[in-house]
Amino acid sequence: MLMHVSRLLSVIAMLGLCVMCADPVPSQELVPPLVQLQPPQVESEVPKGVEVLARGPVHEAFASPSSEPKATPHLGKKPPAPLEEMPPDEKPEGDVVWIGGYWSWDDDRGDYLWVSGCWRVKPTDKEWVPGYWREVGGNWQYAPGFWTNAQATRAQAVTYYPEPPAAPNLAPPGEPPGQDMFHVPGYWMWTGDRFAWRAGYWTRVRPDHVYVPSHYRWTPYGYVFVAGYWDYTIARRGVLYAPVVVDVVVVGPRYVYTPRYAVRDTIVLDTLFVRASCGSYYFGDYYGPRYVAIGYEPSVVYSRRYYEPIVVHQRWVYRDNPRWHDTQVALVIERHSGRAPVPPRTLVQQNIIVHKNVTNVTNVTNVTNVIAPTRTVVAARGQSVVPIDKATRAQVRDATQAVQQTMAADRRKTETAPTIGGSAPLTKPRTASLNVSQTSPVAPIGLGAAKNPPPPLKMPPLTNLPTRPGDLSKNPFQGDPKGISGPIPPKDRVKTSPTAPAPTPLIGNPPRDAGKGNPPIPPSKTKKPPEETKKKGL
């Protein structure tokens, strides 16, 4: 008996030795968590029926293009009822207001997505007039919002102008007279019975500010003139939140949405697109011939033909690198062609990419991290967030909804009124009264003014550049009428558009662009500008 037991133990020992010497078989229990390549779970705070996007429209109150005012497209599908949106439980320090979200059309899905509300530091002496959707012959059209001058009285006069001519094809202004100077473009101004061209001028840069030039915003009733003003840089405007796709059937009619994922400032600057047909900026992955064909144009390319405020300021930020702009255009070409990485399109894709980068022990690049929680984005600026209690959030929500619904209804009533001459184009300005509500900055304990402004920002790091910049002299897309990499016209080429009237030069001071909502009246041609005004500039 003892002999049999000894033999059995010997066999077990030999089998154990063989197992130890054999190649190990991977086991799920032995693999560290970071090595598992299964798609990570999206945080539980994103409910079923909601998809957080890592690309989409930039909230128009956060930033809107100032060139090419155009009527927005007509859509065959009615937008859903506005979401009930609760402001986040944190805000950036400083004087910020909450501006609610709205529905926007998504070409890829053929349906609407929700542009999340944003924390916004209002431009000085400005108030936001929200946009609205309107029905037009069975279709639906969006009337964009705009910034207007703040006034003591709620009711203020808004003038709607005829469609301004296209900007004349003028030569580039040339090199700035100083390193801290930039050229403010000219614009068309109404002189009583016609438009006249007000020439551009050079002025000095204001750190941490972006100059938005005088421009027009399209409305169904005419074009609203927005006088030029100084706005804050992207990193000082507040917090831009990621758009979302919401299945209203899944989430139910009582669903309350709270934005939680903010868009990183570097992503807004690095992947900014202009879509003139919609009067909007977009951020994220809109690279490739398909998006070029339907009107998505990178802002650095767009700036070759038009004044682009954000790009103009970035060129000043990187003024010590004279090839910064060309390098950014080269990066766009690389992304269009698929030779450079593009950002993820959703939160799920971002989590998968970051997960794989961590498991492969590689660096997670800025182009991968598109969206993040509010405090992460704000901390990257060297700033802090301030918590907001539930009662204050509810108060802000109710006030914001009331203001937006009232102003949208007021605009809809005014801007859909019958026009003289039916559908004939507007030939002279008309003025209407619009109720513009004044908003107060949100404080942690209530609707009051925040005490401390945001601290100054450090110089942002240089964006990673492609290793193969591409050929800037050739167009990477056949049949692209805009020419992503088309040549810049010579500085001595001055032409007038054959479809627009010849520009009327105006003599006098450079416009101060601080009017009360109407284009300034041109000075007399015999009047000389005061020397003091000439020296001060803006």
Task: Considering only residues 490 and 372, tell me which one the structure prediction assigns the higher pLDDT.
Answer: 372
Q: Cβ distance 48 to 250 under 8 Å?
A: yes
Among the residue ranges 190-194, 308-312, 438-442, the one predicted with the least confidence is 438-442
Q: Cβ distance 279 to 141 under 8 Å?
A: no
pLDDT at 383 (0 to 100):
93
Q: Would you mind telling me the total number of residues written for the chain in this entry?
A: 538
Residue with tokens 């993040």: 372
Average pLDDT over residues 355-368: 50
Residue with tokens 């060309």: 326
516-538 pLDDT, tens per residue? 444 444 444 434 444 443 444 43
Average pLDDT over residues 330-354: 92
Task: Look up residue 388 and give its amino acid.
Answer: I
pLDDT at 417 (0 to 100):
67
pLDDT at 123 (0 to 100):
96
pLDDT at 355 (0 to 100):
55
* Residue 104 DSSP code: E
Cα gap 271→299, rounded to integer Å: 8
pLDDT at 267 (0 to 100):
95
219-231 pLDDT, tens per residue? 999 999 999 999 9
pLDDT at 504 (0 to 100):
40
What six digits make up the tokens of 152?
């003591």
Residue with tokens 């209530």: 446
Average pLDDT over residues 105-121: 97
Average pLDDT over residues 90-106: 96
pLDDT at 313 (0 to 100):
96
Q: Cβ distance 462 to 407 under 8 Å?
A: no
* pLDDT(260) > 50: yes
31-89 pLDDT, tens per residue? 233 333 333 344 447 889 999 999 999 999 999 999 989 999 999 999 999 999 999 99
Q: Cβ distance 523 to 506 under 8 Å?
A: yes
* pLDDT(364) > 70: no
Average pLDDT over residues 471-497: 36
* pLDDT(336) > 80: yes
Q: What does residue 503 show for φ and ψ, rounded to 5 degrees?
A: -65, 135
Quick one: which of 140, 116, 124, 157 has its CA closest to 400? 116
**207 Rama sector, left if φ>0, alpha if ψ -120 to 50, beta otherwise:** beta
Average pLDDT over residues 10-18: 44
263: confidence class by pLDDT, cuts 50, 70, 90: very high
Angle at 11 between CA 8 and CA 16, to 5 degrees: 125
Cα gap 326→523, rounded to integer Å: 39
**Global pTM exceeds 0.85:** no
pLDDT at 442 (0 to 100):
86
Cα-only R_g, the chain: 28
Quick one: which of 431, 433, 452, 432 has its CA closest to 441? 452
Q: What does residue 450 show for φ and ψ, rounded to 5 degrees?
A: -70, 150
pLDDT at 468 (0 to 100):
38
422-458 pLDDT, tens per residue? 456 788 999 999 888 888 888 765 444 444 444 444 4
For residue 10, the SS3 value is helix
136-174 pLDDT, tens per residue? 999 999 999 999 998 877 788 999 999 999 989 888 898
| Mean pLDDT (the chain, rounded) | 78
Pairing of strands 84-85, 256-257: parallel
Cα gap 152→154, rounded to integer Å: 7
244-259 pLDDT, tens per residue? 999 989 999 899 999 9
* pLDDT(464) > 50: no
pLDDT at 357 (0 to 100):
53
Task: Look up residue 115 and give its amino acid.
Answer: V
Query: What is the SS3 assignment for 19-61?
Result: HHHCCCCCCCCCCCHHHCCCCCCCCCCCCCCEEEECCEECCCC
Cα gap 230→529, rounded to integer Å: 23
- Residue 406 has a CB neighbour count (10 Å cut-off) of 13
pLDDT at 444 (0 to 100):
62
Cα gap 358→124, rounded to integer Å: 44
What six digits make up the tokens of 470?
């591409």
